[in-house]
Structure 1
């Protein structure tokens, strides 16, 4: 099972020297993927409930630096050569899908095909309001945008006629390194798992409450895949736990999880960040390696 690291883009992880140090050390230490999340704006008066904590509040301070994930991951990719990079997650309905298709394909080509595009529908009405995007029907918008992305990546001359996006006979180049980019759907609820089964190449479950909740969500995802005649074995399943333990690795692997993502904040000092990643690798990578 792979071990991913979700540590870039926020706070200390938004500083160039720290990005370089963490990315290089993670690749050297054997981590499988570098993950980077997104919020375009944060607000001081937040009525919307954050779905990944018991108190409904996001732990990131509203005034923290939070890089655009495509830009942050481009620097991480430039500092490395083999480790995967993934948005965890890009809030797709907040963006123009034609621009996302261009940005993602550009990053994928420059990183030699290392990008996984993690996407989510978003939860903050205030953020959608600030961007002038309707909060209602954001799920349907996301589904259509995913279809539009794949059309743009696949077709040399691309056309699409939908409710939320329309284009006719356009050329968007470059194309992804392998012709497409895996779309990893984030979210823990049933609606998100239905979206994974319908149109995702994988699932990113975030801040789950231990192995038992992962097992419950995997069982639901399996049911949703059965409904659409898909096998969950064809999906890349990545999860981040609230309080992960090394002892969880084997249990998660038995459930069919492909990647355990460690969510941590790096230190401010780049030299310390290198040592910090090495300590994480020593703790997590060896237990994740298969035994003979």
Structure 2
């Protein structure tokens, strides 16, 4: 069993009024990225354009900008967006940003993408959430054209361009890792308790499925079986698409389950808000004692997961050391 670890870095966009506090957070982000490089953890960043009261307690800094910053601080680790909400973006501008990041990072970028879920984000940029899947597919296709061809042209439902050349282009197109999965239905959002065929097709044409942490472990494993079956039905080997997972975590070494959950409660509420109960958060995210957290990760690895992106709920550097000490050796036996 070999599971590569990436880390969601703490690019929190807290509503700060104290300039000194802001400087401290930027310094901590820098230290965090450098420590990831030292420990061999890939650097990933989250994309949330706006705050989502009751669901997330904060927004995050713009991810491609953060990863460009990370490229200057690192030399070896991969840099990934987990995930980039594609329907909020213009494909030509996005292709230029990716080309720039790829140039400055020596082609270390992983193009982690998804359709998003927050209606307000779509409204704020003049699109509609009902279009998110179709826009996502068009942008993936358009960006691929732009990053692989001179005088690229594209004609779609939402985006069109002719004879556009992006320079300098990456030496190779970044791997495309696609999110998506079933989720406990919520009347306020457009989530379903199944995986639509359009999502499965998107995953089957990608390099990896970046499964998200928005449901139970059983639902996640059910989704992976669905993905494999769909990949096979499309004429490809079941393992043609890599199984990756992203999840938030907070480690509490030496604590019992009750002690760990009590210690982690305030961090979880600050990060996720109060829309969901703490019990629900425990089902979705990697909370609790280390044996429980490791058990969940090993179960996923037993079903084929070979990459995990972990997001500590605080920017404390000791969380990275805890992951290196308690998780990394057990996931690489």
Could you say which TM-score interval applies, normalised by the shorter chain? Answer: 0.7 to 0.9
Match of 1:256 in 2: 304
SS at 1:26's partner residue? helix
Match of 1:276 in 2: 319
SS at 1:99's partner residue? helix
User: Post-superposition, which runs of at least 4 consecutive aligned residues in structure 1 deviate over 4 A?
Assistant: 208-211
| Number of residues of Structure 1 aligned to a counterpart in Structure 2 | 267
Q: Give the gaps of 5 or more residues in structure 2.
A: 15-21, 183-194, 248-284, 288-292
Query: Aligned in 2, Cα 1:236/1:113: closer, same or farther, shift over 3 Å?
Result: farther
Distance in 2 between residues matched to 1:92 and 1:289, nearest whole Å: 33
- Normalised TM-score (structure 2): 0.74
Counterpart of 1:185 (choices 174, 178, 183) is 178
Distance in 2 between residues matched to 1:211 and 1:262, nearest whole Å: 15
Distance in 2 between residues matched to 1:20 and 1:236, nearest whole Å: 30
Q: How does 1:95-174 map to 2 (within 5 A)?
A: 95-174=89-168
The structure that has the greater radius of gyration is: 2
Query: Aligned in 2, Cα 1:168/1:37: closer, same or farther, shift over 3 Å?
Result: same
Once the 2 structures are TM-superposed, how far is the Cα of residue 216 of structure 1 from its aligned partner?
Answer: 1.1
Q: Say whether the 8 Å CA contact 1:70–1:87 is kept in structure 2.
A: yes
Q: Give the gaps of 5 or more residues in structure 1.
A: 45-56, 268-272
Ranked by relative contact order (alpha carbons within 8 Å, sequence separation 6 or more), the top structure is: 1
Once the 2 structures are TM-superposed, how far is the Cα of residue 211 of structure 1 from its aligned partner?
Answer: 4.4
Once the 2 structures are TM-superposed, how far is the Cα of residue 285 of structure 1 from its aligned partner?
Answer: 1.1
Once the 2 structures are TM-superposed, how far is the Cα of residue 129 of structure 1 from its aligned partner?
Answer: 0.9
Once the 2 structures are TM-superposed, how far is the Cα of residue 147 of structure 1 from its aligned partner?
Answer: 0.5
SS at 1:137's partner residue? helix
RMSD (Å) for aligned C-alpha atoms: 2.1
Q: Say whether the 8 Å CA contact 1:77–1:85 is kept in structure 2.
A: yes
Distance in 1 between residues matched to 2:37 and 2:51, nearest whole Å: 31
Once the 2 structures are TM-superposed, how far is the Cα of residue 146 of structure 1 from its aligned partner?
Answer: 0.6
Q: How does 1:32-71 map to 2 (within 5 A)?
A: 33-42=42-51, 57-58=54-55, 60-61=56-57, 64=58, 66-71=60-65
Query: Aligned in 2, Cα 1:79/1:228: closer, same or farther, shift over 3 Å?
Result: same
Task: Say which is worse superposed, 125-134 or 197-206, in terms of deviation.
Answer: 197-206
- Does 2:207 match 1:213? no
- Normalised TM-score (structure 1): 0.84
Q: How does 1:215-234 map to 2 (within 5 A)?
A: 215-234=221-240
SS at 2:60's partner residue? coil
Distance in 1 between residues matched to 2:85 and 2:321, nearest whole Å: 31
Query: Aligned in 2, Cα 1:139/1:193: closer, same or farther, shift over 3 Å?
Result: closer
Per-residue CA deviations over 1:69-117 (Å, capped at 9, x if unaligned) read: 0011111221111111111111101100111111112112211111111
Q: Say whether the 8 Å CA contact 1:197–1:224 is kept in structure 2.
A: no
Counterpart of 1:18 (choices 10, 28, 40) is 28
SS at 2:130's partner residue? coil
Distance in 2 between residues matched to 1:276 and 1:286, nearest whole Å: 15
